Amino acid sequence: MLNIAMLPSPLDFSTSYLSTSTIVALCVFFGLLCSCIIVGHLLEENRWANESITALLLGLCSGVVVLLVTKFRSTKILIFSEDLFFLYLLPPIIFNAGFQDKKKQFFRNFITILLFGVLGTVISFCLISLGAFLLFTRIGITNLGIKDHLAIGAILSATDSVCTLQVLSQDETPLLYSIVFGEGVVNDATSIVLFNSVQTLNFSTMNAITALKLLGTFFYLFCTSTALGIILYADLLYDDEFFRHSTDREVALMMLMAYLSYMIAELLNLSGILTIFFCGIVMSHYTWHNVTGSSRTTTKHAFATISFIAETFIFLYVGMDAFDVDKWKTSKASIGTSVAVSSTLIALVLIGRAAFVFSIANITNCTKTRESAKIEFRSQFIIWWAGLMRGAVTIALSYNQFSKSEIASTEDSALMITSTIILVLFSTVVFGSITKPLIEAVKLRQSKPAISDSTDNQEDLRLLFLESNCSINQTNHHESQSRRRSSLSLMIRHPTTTVHYFWRKFDDKFMRPVFGGRGFIPAVPGSPPAEEEIS
């Protein structure tokens, strides 16, 4: 304490290598992140709240505090940089979605998930774009081009189903959980690819060919990015013994390779998001089984943690940014216009989602003969509801489109950003807090799928054991029973199961010998504990 007098003034001191404002901003942000985690954990049992809502509300509160402290001049502590989002926050979230993906269920319901995630998102994109195009001129927003309307469609198609997933139980309703989860991640990737496709096209001359071009670009991006993601992963780790004694190297290489796949895809002008998503799936399917036990635990939890922090960070930021004075001033819209635009967007989201969820669900139901595989109305409702929340991706894409927009009217662009923020806040807080009670009420009498799905599992196992020439005793009585069915009749009766079955066969024959991994062979009783595995 004696030395205080000789110490220089605070400012002199800390500028030695870091600027004070950076340090203050980081302190506040990391402090808020810690609070979010603790408060979110304390509120876990609460039926109205979840982590996203906590982060948003904490962000809003601190935004107000900063606004008061700076005397209504600014709420900016950190400037939202798209680089930050697309380089550091989004890749871990998407990679983790692929990595933690419940692969068994994912591949079992592959076609349904793709229908919802890809086709559904495209339908939603078309409807929202069309709706925005038709309705916005009536409200008085005339300065947006065709590209902006299409971008709005893509921006609003990116759902955030985290909230619903916290309520659904994977054991009680495996089919529903798998569809909601699978659709959520495929949807994010699809809407980002759609957004990219929209941005790359030239809409000065709009005609039928442009629409075809858009579709072509979308499928080109989708397929090549997927292929790249599957090819590009740490197949060096294939060799069981290569890094066997060095967990740190294994983990480092898995992290770096995942990130590298994202960067390479961006470099090749493909969609990094899709690539890193499939890289995550492939890595957890093959590589993950070749590394040491501690590497498995570490990667599983480290990726989940990083993704968790990134998500909390984004919600916190969105909350803080809601009171950005500059943006509200720039938009110059009256409260009436603001409310009108936001309500229109919310209505479009509701309708756009309803249009594809119920129609796709009923179409897939028609193709299925077994009652158990059908998606009943209650489940359809939950799937519809799960996709109403809008989150980080929507905000990021909206900033990307409208913050540096070339359109003459910056007013309308600012209005679009503020309306998106309102939409995200409203859907996350209002829809989000109703989710838990609502789904619990809907689920009350819904125990049928759980039972029927276990029957499915048995059938699947039967097929597997039959074809792998596996001679485990307990399956013998199944074999004699199943042998009578030909592959063709199976194909006709259960198309999804059969696709899954052929994928397994392909995987066991060609993929595993090359890339390693445990594949789909069921764990031998007495083998390493199952809870360690991503099941």
Cα dihedral sign, 410-273-123-206: positive
Task: Based on the shown chain and the rule CB under 8 A, indicate whether residue 200 belongs to the binding site for its own copies.
Answer: yes
Give dist(CA 7, CA 302) in Å, integer. 41
Helix, strand, coil % over all residues of the chain, rounded to 5: 75, 0, 25
Task: Based on the shown chain and the rule CB under 8 A, indicate whether residue 247 belongs to the binding site for its own copies.
Answer: yes
Binding-site size, its own copies (CB under 8 A): 73
Ordered DSSP codes for 468-530: TT---GGGHHHHHHHTTS-HHHHHHH-HHHHHHHHHHHHIIIIIHHHH---TTPPPPTTSS-G
Which residue stretch of 56-64, 123-131, 181-189, 196-204 sits at the interface with its own copies (rule: CB under 8 A)?
196-204
- The CB-of-264 to its own copies minimum distance in angstroms stands at 6
Nearest to 270 by CA among 210, 390, 189: 189
Task: Based on the shown chain and the rule CB under 8 A, indicate whether residue 354 belongs to the binding site for its own copies.
Answer: no
User: Which of residues 96 and 435 has its CB atom nearest to its own copies in the complex?
Assistant: 96
User: Which of residues 83 and 171 has its CB atom nearest to its own copies in the complex?
Assistant: 83
Q: Which of 16, 469, 471, 486 binds its own copies (CB under 8 A)?
A: 16
Task: Based on the shown chain and the rule CB under 8 A, indicate whether residue 528 belongs to the binding site for its own copies.
Answer: no
Task: Based on the shown chain and the rule CB under 8 A, indicate whether residue 308 belongs to the binding site for its own copies.
Answer: yes
Q: Which of 239, 248, 371, 479 binds its own copies (CB under 8 A)?
A: 248
Query: Segment 400-429, which members bind its own copies (CB under 8 A)?
Result: 400
Q: How many CB atoms lie within 10 A of CB 512?
A: 18
Residue 233 CA neighbour count, 13 Å, CB half: 28
Task: Based on the shown chain and the rule CB under 8 A, indicate whether residue 491 belongs to the binding site for its own copies.
Answer: no
User: Which of residues 27 and 470 has its CB atom nearest to its own copies in the complex?
Assistant: 27
- Is the CB of residue 89 less than 8 Å from the CB of residue 391? no
Sequence-distant (≥ 6) Cβ neighbours of residue 213 within 8 angstroms: 201
Nearest to 431 by CA among 469, 389, 478: 389
Q: Which of 47, 73, 249, 448 binds its own copies (CB under 8 A)?
A: 249
Measured in whole angstroms, how far is the alpha carbon of residue 300 from the centre of its chain? 17
Task: Based on the shown chain and the rule CB under 8 A, indicate whether residue 216 belongs to the binding site for its own copies.
Answer: yes
User: Which of residues 35 and 446 has its CB atom nearest to its own copies in the complex?
Assistant: 35
Task: Based on the shown chain and the rule CB under 8 A, indicate whether residue 46 belongs to the binding site for its own copies.
Answer: no
Query: Hey, what are 182's tokens?
Result: 């699978």
Residue 99 CA neighbour count, 13 Å, CB half: 28
- Is the CB of residue 390 less than 8 Å from the CB of residue 159? yes
Local structure of residue 9 (DSSP, 8 states): P
User: Which of residues 242 and 384 has its CB atom nearest to its own copies in the complex?
Assistant: 242
Q: Which of 72, 219, 377, 502 binds its own copies (CB under 8 A)?
A: 219
Q: Which of 61, 69, 267, 339 binds its own copies (CB under 8 A)?
A: 267
User: Which of residues 122 and 346 has its CB atom nearest to its own copies in the complex?
Assistant: 122
Q: Which of 66, 78, 87, 111 binds its own copies (CB under 8 A)?
A: 87
User: Which of residues 2 and 488 has its CB atom nearest to its own copies in the complex?
Assistant: 2
Nearest to 477 by CA among 487, 465, 489: 465
Query: Hey, what are 136's tokens?
Result: 């916005």
Task: Based on the shown chain and the rule CB under 8 A, indicate whether residue 522 belongs to the binding site for its own copies.
Answer: no
- The CB-of-28 to its own copies minimum distance in angstroms stands at 9
- The CB-of-273 to its own copies minimum distance in angstroms stands at 11
Task: Based on the shown chain and the rule CB under 8 A, indicate whether residue 202 belongs to the binding site for its own copies.
Answer: yes
Measured in whole angstroms, how far is the alpha carbon of residue 293 from the centre of its chain? 27
Main-chain dihedrals φ then ψ at residue 159, nearest 5 degrees: -90, 175
User: Which of residues 230 and 260 has its CB atom nearest to its own copies in the complex?
Assistant: 260
Give dist(CA 211, CA 198) in Å, integer. 10
- The CB-of-23 to its own copies minimum distance in angstroms stands at 5
Binding mask 145-184 toward its own copies (x if CB under 8 A, else -) reads ----------------------------------------
Q: Which of 166, 199, 338, 452 binds its own copies (CB under 8 A)?
A: 199
User: Which of residues 284 and 380 has its CB atom nearest to its own copies in the complex?
Assistant: 284
User: Which of residues 32 and 333 has its CB atom nearest to its own copies in the complex?
Assistant: 32
Task: Based on the shown chain and the rule CB under 8 A, indicate whether residue 351 belongs to the binding site for its own copies.
Answer: no
- Is the CB of residue 512 less than 8 Å from the CB of residue 468? no
Main-chain dihedrals φ then ψ at residue 531, nearest 5 degrees: -70, -15
Q: How many CB atoms lie within 10 A of CB 527?
A: 10
Binding mask 275-304 toward its own copies (x if CB under 8 A, else -) reads -------------------xx-xx-xxx-x
Task: Based on the shown chain and the rule CB under 8 A, indicate whether residue 256 belongs to the binding site for its own copies.
Answer: yes
What is the radius of gyration, based on Cα positions, of the chain? 25
User: Which of residues 69 and 347 has its CB atom nearest to its own copies in the complex?
Assistant: 69
Which residue stretch of 245-253, 315-323, 499-507, 509-517 sits at the interface with its own copies (rule: CB under 8 A)?
245-253
Q: What angle, rounded to 10 degrees, do the helices at 377-386 and 174-200 form?
A: 40
User: Which of residues 3 and 486 has its CB atom nearest to its own copies in the complex?
Assistant: 3
Query: Segment 112-131, which members bind its own copies (CB under 8 A)?
Result: none
Measured in whole angstroms, how far is the alpha carbon of residue 355 from the centre of its chain? 21
The one-letter amino acid at 484? R
- The CB-of-526 to its own copies minimum distance in angstroms stands at 19
Residue 88 CA neighbour count, 13 Å, CB half: 9
Q: Which of 68, 69, 252, 472 binds its own copies (CB under 8 A)?
A: 252
Task: Based on the shown chain and the rule CB under 8 A, indicate whether residue 7 belongs to the binding site for its own copies.
Answer: yes
